[in-house]
């Protein structure tokens, strides 16, 4: 039986915790006494506790994040009720700041803030040797990256076959965007690239084909970026998929020359635009050459086959609805495959809190601490924007409505989609659990009524998109049509991309 359990609750099974694997890789002589046990948010707290206790551990370490802290709090509370002798150790970004305010911290025995790679093993040695650790809150030691054992051997064959593999070539970020925890970093630190590429090659040889880099700034060091892209180009096959987060205004010719060599479906870039308002950028300490960023996005869309995922944030201090709308419309004009409209969250420890009073920023008092209102956007309007973001993800980012989407957006994308969003919510009172056939019907109804598009035009677009979707269940508005073309399945790169990328 392992003495030490490393655990967390992932959002979905497809996510494999990189943090737990780093801890396991750096346990030293305790490695044989350590086991990783992962759960998802769908597991009941009682089931998780039962599974953990079945191993009879002496120490349980939890990785705590904004998306799982509520569930982990319940798990830890149950553990302390039925097995108070087990030492519970917390780590992760959610418990690294504002510790005194958190119930899960009160329940736990110890918390390691910041870097835990080395510090967790050190604490475990002390606890197993029955040397009481006087401190409850322990500041994690930040070692040199060369001293950290890499975690990639701890991805199992099952992980490789069925899950997204998270990898990194660097940690930290030199930029100071105030909504992000990376704003607290002094710089970015790069791993020895030979070590990283050797580890990635071993994963590849074992059959890994999906790699998601968690580096905050993949294209910060162009020399390393070039080597990484060359590594994957040398291993291209029809299953390879690689994801990077990139700086939008830094795309030199060396990178472009490599990017254009990747086929469709192999390369995805997450581009954090966040806001196109220069005054808001300055307010949140975000340095960005917006004109260059737009030029690069245009080039990526026109000259490469990379899938582009652009991030836009709702609720930043100093930004009103008109500014958000203008930014959204500019991104639509750039024809990106995905525009992820996200809602600002107050991550613990981030400098965004300095704007709370001056800009009337109000957040939910429980995770994920989403923005509720600002001095520019009242609560009711913010809820409309939240629904806009959800419906946009359902329709605009799904890849299913290539012919229908232009009818929705026309010459005023934000305004028209907001009209549709308001109508959709008034009609259904739902933002989730809308079945695909029902969504086709709702699009037909919304477009032909509140957006006043000719029914025959809408019908033709939706029928085309339905036939391309490969869906088996015909939408109700199509069932009475005569002489419908025979439904055929066709290749759909957007569907393949959706299967490969992560939520």
Q: DSSP assignment of 107-152, as one string?
A: HSSEEEES--TTHHHHHHHHHHTT---S-SEEEPP---GGGSPP-G
Kindly report, residue by residue over 23-34, the tens digit of the pLDDT. Answer: 999 999 999 999
> What confidence score (pLDDT) does residue 480 get?
61
Q: What pLDDT, in 10s, does the model give residues 463-495?
A: 999 999 888 888 888 876 543 444 433 344 444
> How confident is the model over 345-360, as a mean pLDDT?
96
91 by DSSP, 3-state: which?
Answer: strand
pTM here is: 0.91
Decide: 210 and 166 in contact? Cβ < 8 Å: no
Which domains, and CATH codes, for the chain?
A: 4-145 (3.40.50.280), 155-377 (3.80.30.20), 410-503 (no CATH)
pLDDT value, residue 471: 82
Residues 6+ apart with CB under 8 A from 180: 173, 216, 347, 350
**Strand-pair partners of 245:** 270
Nearest-angstrom CA–CA distance, 164 and 144: 27
pLDDT tens-place string over residues 375-420: 999 999 999 999 999 999 999 999 999 999 999 999 999 999 999 9
Q: In whole angstroms, give the CA distance from residue 118 to residue 115.
A: 8
Of 50, 45, 55, 36, the C-alpha closest to 77 is 45
**Token couple for 4:** 């030490």
The pLDDT assigned to 233 comes to 98
- According to DSSP, the β-strands at 362-363 and 371-373 are antiparallel
pLDDT at site 133: 72
Give yes or no for residue 58 having a pLDDT over 80: yes
Burial of 238 (0-12, 13-18, 19+ CB in 10 A): exposed
Residue whose tokens read 């806009």: 388
Please tell me the distance from the alpha carbon of residue 341 to that of residue 386, in angstroms, as a whole number: 9
First to last CA, the chain: 35
Q: Check whether 140 has a pLDDT greater than 70.
A: yes
Categorize the per-residue pLDDT at 503 as very low, low, confident or very high, splitting at 50, 70 and 90.
very low
Tell me the average pLDDT across 10-37.
97
Examine the pLDDT at 97 and tell me if it is beyond 70: yes
Mean pLDDT of 423-451: 96
Instruction: Please say whether the beta carbons of 16 and 159 come within 8 A.
Output: yes
The 10 Å Cβ neighbour count of residue 445 is 15
């Amino acid at each position: 039986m392992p003495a030490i359990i490393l655990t967390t609750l992932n959002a979905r099974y497809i996510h494999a915790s990189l943090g737990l694997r780093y801890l396991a890789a750096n346990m030293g002589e305790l490695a044989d006494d350590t086991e990783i046990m992962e759960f998802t948010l769908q597991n009941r707290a009682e089931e998780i506790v039962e599974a953990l206790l079945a191993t009879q551990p002496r120490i349980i370490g939890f990785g705590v994040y904004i998306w799982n802290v509520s569930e982990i709090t319940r798990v830890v509370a149950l553990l302390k009720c039925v097995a108070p002798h087990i030492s519970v150790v917390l780590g992760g970004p959610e418990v690294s700041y504002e510790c005194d305010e958190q119930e899960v911290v009160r329940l736990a025995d110890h918390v390691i803030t910041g870097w835990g790679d080395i510090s967790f093993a050190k604490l475990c040695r002390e606890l197993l040797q029955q040397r009481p650790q006087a401190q409850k809150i322990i500041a994690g030691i930040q070692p040199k990256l060369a001293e950290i054992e890499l975690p990639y051997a701890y991805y199992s064959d099952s992980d490789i076959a069925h899950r997204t593999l998270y990898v990194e070539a660097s940690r930290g970020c030199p930029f100071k965007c105030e909504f992000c925890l990376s704003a607290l970093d002094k710089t970015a630190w790069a791993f020895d690239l030979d070590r990283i590429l050797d580890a990635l090659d071993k994963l590849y040889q074992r059959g890994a084909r999906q790699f998601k880099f968690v580096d905050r700034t993949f294209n910060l060091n162009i020399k390393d970026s070039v080597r990484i892209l060359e590594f994957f180009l040398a291993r291209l096959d029809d299953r390879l998929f690689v994801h990077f987060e990139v700086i939008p205004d830094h795309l030199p010719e060396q990178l472009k020359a490599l990017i254009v060599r990747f086929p469709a479906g192999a390369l995805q870039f997450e581009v954090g635009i966040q806001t196109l308002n220069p005054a808001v950028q300055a307010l949140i300490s975000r340095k960005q050459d917006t004109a260059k960023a737009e030029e690069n996005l245009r080039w990526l869309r026109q000259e490469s086959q990379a899938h582009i995922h652009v991030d836009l944030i709702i609720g930043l201090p100093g930004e009103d609805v008109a500014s958000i709308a203008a930014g959204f419309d500019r991104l639509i004009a750039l024809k990106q495959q995905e525009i992820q409209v996200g809602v600002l969250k107050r991550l613990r420890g981030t400098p965004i809190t300095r704007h709370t009073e001056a800009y009337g920023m109000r957040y939910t008092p429980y995770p994920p601490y989403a923005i509720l209102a600002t001095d520019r956007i009242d609560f009711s309007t913010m809820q409309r924007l939240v629904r806009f973001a959800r419906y946009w993800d359902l329709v605009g980012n799904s890849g299913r409505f290539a012919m229908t989407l232009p009818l929705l957006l026309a010459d005023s994308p934000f305004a028209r989609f907001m009209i549709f969003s308001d109508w959709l919510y008034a009609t259904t009172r739902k933002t989730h659990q809308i079945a695909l056939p029902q969504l086709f019907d709702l699009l037909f109804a919304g477009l032909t009524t509140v957006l006043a598009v000719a029914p025959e035009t809408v019908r033709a677009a939706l029928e085309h998109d339905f036939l391309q979707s490969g869906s088996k269940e015909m939408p109700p508005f199509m069932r009475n049509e005569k002489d419908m073309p025979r439904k055929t399945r066709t290749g759909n790169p957007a569907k393949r991309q959706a299967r490969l990328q992560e939520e």
